[in-house]
Amino acid sequence: MKTLEVAVTAICAAVYAVVGYITSFGLTFGGVAFWPAAFIPGVFAILFGPWVGGAGAAIGIFIRDIAYTHDPFLSLVAGVTANFAAFFLIGYLSRTELNMKKIVVGLAIGSATILVGLLLPTLILPNESTTFTSFSMQVTFILFSSLMVVSLTLFGVIWKYWREFRTFGVAAVIGQGIGATIVSIGVWGYSQLFFSPNGYFKSPIPATFVPFVFVWTFATEIPFVLLLAPPVAKACYLAFPFLRTYRMTKEKGAN
């Protein structure tokens, strides 16, 4: 990584940690916070590429987790790995040509998440849904379905009006899907090995918990990534035109 990339990685990590700490509002599900700050490393991934986005997100989430949960091992198992994978993929895929394979994968992840999010609290695991979320089936259904409808609408807006960010939209769905998978499995696995009465998890969580964490993580992050990252990145391009030239140079070098 060049000097500029190291510097902006540090900036990304610092901003991500602070904004994430402030905007989570103490809302968590199974140790996974409500996370509108996910758009921040998305912006850096657009502007500076996969390594800056991935490393900045990993370092930033680790700082935030230490401040909030005081559990570095849980952060390393779930948060750090998931954030690095998600935003590295977003930075990498958004700089490659849009092809049918990427479109199909992105739509498949989004469609599967919507389907699982709608069926889990109503047909598949209604009792577990009430136990895990403390919400009624109706509230959980409305919450997840609303978030998914918003995400699909934003994806359509990007596809129609922000043509230069079309690949980013697909990359965001794929990256967030992979990240949510790592988080859900990592949190479940951690609870099996490291729970204690005085620790973060009072007892091992059941495997049926995994799909709920996946849907929660994906559904509470992807709307903010799709809504905020493209316009913020575009504003940065307008304010600092050299960033667009820098990106084009990096893309040519990668190809």
pLDDT given for residue 206 in this prediction: 82
Q: By three-state DSSP, how is residue 94 classified?
A: coil
> What is d(CA 13, CA 57) in angstroms, rounded to the nearest whole number?
6
Cβ neighbours for 195, distance < 8 A, ≥ 6 positions apart = 201, 202, 203, 204
pLDDT given for residue 251 in this prediction: 66
Q: In which element (H, E) is residue 32 found? A: strand 32-33
pLDDT in tens, the chain (255 residues): 588 899 999 999 999 999 998 998 877 776 788 899 999 999 999 999 999 999 999 999 999 988 887 788 888 999 999 999 999 999 999 888 777 777 777 778 777 877 777 677 667 777 777 777 677 777 777 777 787 778 778 878 887 888 788 889 889 989 999 999 999 999 888 888 876 555 666 777 888 888 888 888 888 899 899 999 999 999 999 998 888 887 777 666 555
Domain count, the chain: 1
Write the DSSP string, 108-176: HHHHHHHHHHHHIIIII-HHHHHHHHSS-HHHHHHHHHHHHHHHHHHHHHHHHH-GGGHHHHHHHHHHH
pLDDT given for residue 1 in this prediction: 59
pLDDT given for residue 248 in this prediction: 74
Which residues form the domain of 28?
A: 3-254
Identify which of 56, 84, 47 has the alpha carbon closest to the alpha carbon of residue 232.
47
pLDDT given for residue 15 in this prediction: 96
> What is d(CA 142, CA 125) in angstroms, rounded to the nearest whole number?
16
Q: Which two tokens stand for residue 173?
A: 């769905």
Pairing of strands 32-33, 28-29: antiparallel
